[in-house]
Amino acid sequence: MPTIHSPGSGDGRKEGAALLRRLLDSPRTYFVLAGLLLVAAVASQFRLQIPSRPEGTLEDLASLRTSKPNVLFILIDTLRADRLSAYGYERPTSPVMADLARHGIRFARVEAQSSWTKTSMASLWTGLFPVRTGVLRSNHGIPDRAVLPAELFKQAGYVTAGLWRNGWVGVDFGFHQGFDTYLRPPPDLTPESFQKRGPGTAQIGGTDENITSAALGFLETHGREPFFLYLHYMDVHQYSYDEEAARLGFGTSISDAYDASIHWVDRNVAAVLTWLERNDVFEKTLVVIASDHGEGFSEHGTEGHARSLYQEVTRVPLILALPFRLEKGVVVEPLVRNVDVWPTVLDLVGLPPLPHSDGRSLVPLIEAAARGEKDGAGDVAYAYLDRNWAKSEQPSGPIVSVVSENRRLVRTTVPQPKLELFDHATDPTEQRNLVTERPEWVAELEPKLEAQLEQKPPWGKANEVQLDELSQELLRALGYVVK
């Protein structure tokens, strides 16, 4: 059981908060994250500068297994890949993450295993597809028998810390295993920390600035020893308003607010990276950018997430920034899955693999892409969503999907049965159902779904969790209805 407290000493956290304010207010940070966006629209005479590392090549990958690098895992909740600058979005939502990808490793097609945080994160952390984790409903949790990455880092002598604001990854549900420190940082009750919902509006609930402040406090205390630090940013999920993005002309629609919140989180990422650079730690750190699911904007008649398994809610980013800077970044084109994230990271840093994992290390794909080899097949990705995940009194209502090569098959059971088939090669936004036109594809993919649904968790079944009223209220504050 981890210690549930602020990372480092109280003084360390205060120093972290003060440092964060200096970083977000500093002329250099605003030049990087704001001024350059304006300049780029009219000229290219300035070059984007973010915290740097020494140059290297992919031949240096092997050295990570013996050098015991730090690992900074940044999970940005509700972040769809196609809204990031690194993935070709026309709006400059994320210049810092784009630079990490430009001189690192970007995976072009990444499928999350659910469009709901808890099911998706259980798969990501364990390397197991959803039916194999058993974490499918609001009262399900990861059992102690499961082995999570933080446990492997702790056994290897790392200091481990997790900072989060989404209650679905809280201690109640078993996500704390292996962390020395695992907490939801309390909001600082100051005007600067109010959760902004638009010009002139706010609510006291904290922002990702609290995550970043706590992270800097942890780094001030433990940043000079081997660490594994997990930051779960939440403001994209909350559509938190960013005044700086508004000044850049992002607009005021729901979609604009979503983009602006990405810009805000990108600035927070920059603050953490700046600390790493200023303290000569960046060159000893592997940075991972990932997400649990995307977000819908009525592409299929619904908004938000945890309602469907179409590409807008399952296609997520995955970016690796190595301790060294590649002159030319590597883009891995084949389909990969979130269950592959930790098999890959553990392989890179030389730690034991996760037991029972459905995922695989992507290091061979990285090396193949660096050599210019083309492998368009990739793996098969499964996703699962119980439409009744929050309604304990109702039976399960699963939506399941399988993605193979350029095809997605989605089977819905509630509110009425439906089968949908899409061809990403000709229909990337999944608007044309090909079930009747391509029955041979259905005949190929549907048995894969059936076989996946018959799988069982290696530990028997998930824990059943009874939430206290406080935990339920924290989840309701995020917009979830828990019954």
Q: What is the pLDDT of residues 86-126, one digit of tens each?
A: 999 999 999 999 999 999 999 999 999 999 999 999 999 99
Q: What is the pLDDT of residues 314-323, one digit of tens each?
A: 999 999 999 9
pLDDT of 463 reads 83
Highest-pLDDT range among 206-215, 391-400, 470-479 = 206-215
Confidence of residue 45 (pLDDT cuts 50, 70, 90): very low
- Higher pLDDT: 187 or 202? It is 187
Q: What is the mean pLDDT of the chain?
A: 86
Comparing 56-60, 69-73, 274-278, 429-433, the range with the smallest average pLDDT is 56-60
Rounded percentage of the chain residues whose pLDDT exceeds 90: 69
Among 119, 80, 85, which residue's Cα sits nearest to residue 100? 85
Burial of residue 355 (number of CB atoms within 10 Å: 0-12, 13-18, 19+)? exposed
Q: What's the Cα-to-Cα distance from 115 to each of 19, 383, 471, rounded to whole Å?
A: 35, 8, 21
pLDDT of 375 reads 66
Residue 280 has pLDDT above 50, yes or no: yes
Distance CA 91, CA 87 (A): 11
Residue 62 has pLDDT above 60, yes or no: yes
pLDDT of 94 reads 97
- Higher pLDDT: 388 or 407? It is 407
Residue 23 CB-half CA count within 13 A: 25
Residue 279 has pLDDT above 50, yes or no: yes
- Higher pLDDT: 169 or 7? It is 169
Q: What is the pLDDT of residues 408-466, one digit of tens each?
A: 999 998 888 999 999 999 999 999 999 999 999 999 999 999 999 999 999 988 888 87
pLDDT of 251 reads 87
Q: What is the pLDDT of residues 355-383, one digit of tens each?
A: 999 999 999 999 999 999 876 567 999 99
Confidence of residue 54 (pLDDT cuts 50, 70, 90): confident
- Higher pLDDT: 482 or 164? It is 164
User: What's the pTM?
Assistant: 0.88
Among 416, 332, 401, 316, which residue's Cα sits nearest to residue 366? 332
Comparing 68-77, 178-187, 196-205, 386-395, the range with the smallest average pLDDT is 196-205
- Domains of the chain in sequence order: 10-380 (3.40.720.10)
Distance CA 208, CA 47 (A): 28
pLDDT of 12 reads 43
Distance CA 411, CA 35 (A): 47
321 has which bridge partners?
287
Rounded percentage of the chain residues whose pLDDT exceeds 70: 82
Arithmetic mean of pLDDT, 327-345: 97
Arithmetic mean of pLDDT, 279-304: 92
Confidence of residue 470 (pLDDT cuts 50, 70, 90): low
Arithmetic mean of pLDDT, 281-294: 98
pLDDT of 90 reads 95
| Start-to-end Cα distance in the chain | 27
Distance CA 349, CA 358 (A): 20
Residue 134 has pLDDT above 80, yes or no: yes
Arithmetic mean of pLDDT, 15-34: 43
Residue 46 has pLDDT above 60, yes or no: no
Residue 367 CB-half CA count within 13 A: 10
The two tokens of residue 337 are 């899955």
Distance CA 35, CA 37 (A): 5
